[in-house]
Amino acid sequence: MIKIAPSILAADFANLEAEVKAVQEAGADYIHFDVMDGQFVPNISIGLPVLASLRKKSDMVLDVHLMIDQPERFVEDFIKAGADIVTVHVEATNHLHRVLQQIKAAGAKCGVVLNPHTPLSLIEHVLGDVDMVLLMTVNPGFGGQKFIESVVPKIAALNEMRQARRLDFEIEIDGGVNAETAKLCIDAGADVLVAGSAIYNEPSYKDAIDSIRNASRV
Ligand code: DX5
Ligand code: ZN
């Protein structure tokens, strides 16, 4: 069963508790929480205090995507604030293996994220250390962008590497996911689909989640 992780970047931040409950009731598996620092990506979003507040109101799995430079400075803080999964960009740190160990030692699941242009070879040697690999299908920084289809073969290649090495990390896809592009991701081997605008901009969150999750069956 494909997991769906609504990105609250597209939610109404003034009603965040209700927006999270609504997608939970609609069948969401994770809440995707996008942190942007205005440096690694050309935008600023939300951070530690918002995560801590949300943690008090929700028992959902909080999947925290750190789009920040040198994430090693902050991973423990995000886990203390309530992150269940922390993903860091390979492009944002010189010490990827170390930061992944830091996340695990602090008690969360760890994952690594690749921008659309970044090759899989950069993470080959940490695949045995991660719970999740997140492949970006847009250039990170903004919701509502167009899915970059040239990343689809990378999803399939990662799935093959996972099978060949008998590993069990989840493959998550983020950016421009809707019912049409979801089919490409699922068929290539994705397990978790992040969607912001394709859920929160729709009148029925349940219909939106169902149509993304079942995209490959139609
Ligand atoms: C982009 C973020 C995404 C974003 C996805 O930088 O990492 O999680 O919210 O939004 P949509 O689904 O609208 O592309
Ligand atoms: Zn994200």
Q: What residues make up the domain containing 57?
A: 3-217
Q: Do 148 and 129 contact (CB within 8 A), yes or no?
A: no
Return the pLDDT at 217.
Answer: 79
User: How many domains are there within the chain?
Assistant: 1
User: What percent of the chain clears pLDDT 70, i.e. is strictly above it?
Assistant: 100
C-alpha 195/C-alpha 30 separation (Å) is 11
C-alpha 17/C-alpha 122 separation (Å) is 37
Ligand 1 binding pocket mutation candidate from 8, 30, 34, 65 (most atoms within 8 A of CB) = 34
Q: Do 10 and 20 contact (CB within 8 A), yes or no?
A: no
Return the pLDDT at 218.
Answer: 65
DSSP E strands in the chain: the ranges are 3-6, 30-36, 61-67, 85-89, 109-114, 132-136, 170-174, 192-195
On whether ipTM exceeds 0.95, the answer is: yes
CATH number at residue 78: 3.20.20.70
Quick: pLDDT tens for 125-139: 999 999 999 999 999
User: What percent of the chain clears pLDDT 90, i.e. is strictly above it?
Assistant: 99
Quick: pLDDT tens for 191-201: 999 999 999 99
Binding positions: 7, 32, 34, 65, 141-144, 174-176, 196-197
Q: Which residue has the tokens 């250039």?
A: 139
pTM above 0.95, yes or no: yes
Neighbours of ion ligand 2 (CB under 5 A): 34, 65, 174
Give the residue, by CA position, lying nearest to ligand 1 atom 9: 143
Quick: pLDDT tens for 79-116: 999 999 999 999 999 999 999 999 999 999 999 999 99
Q: How far is the CA of 139 from the centre of ligand 1 (A)?
A: 9
Q: How far is the CA of 7 from the centre of ligand 2 (A)?
A: 7
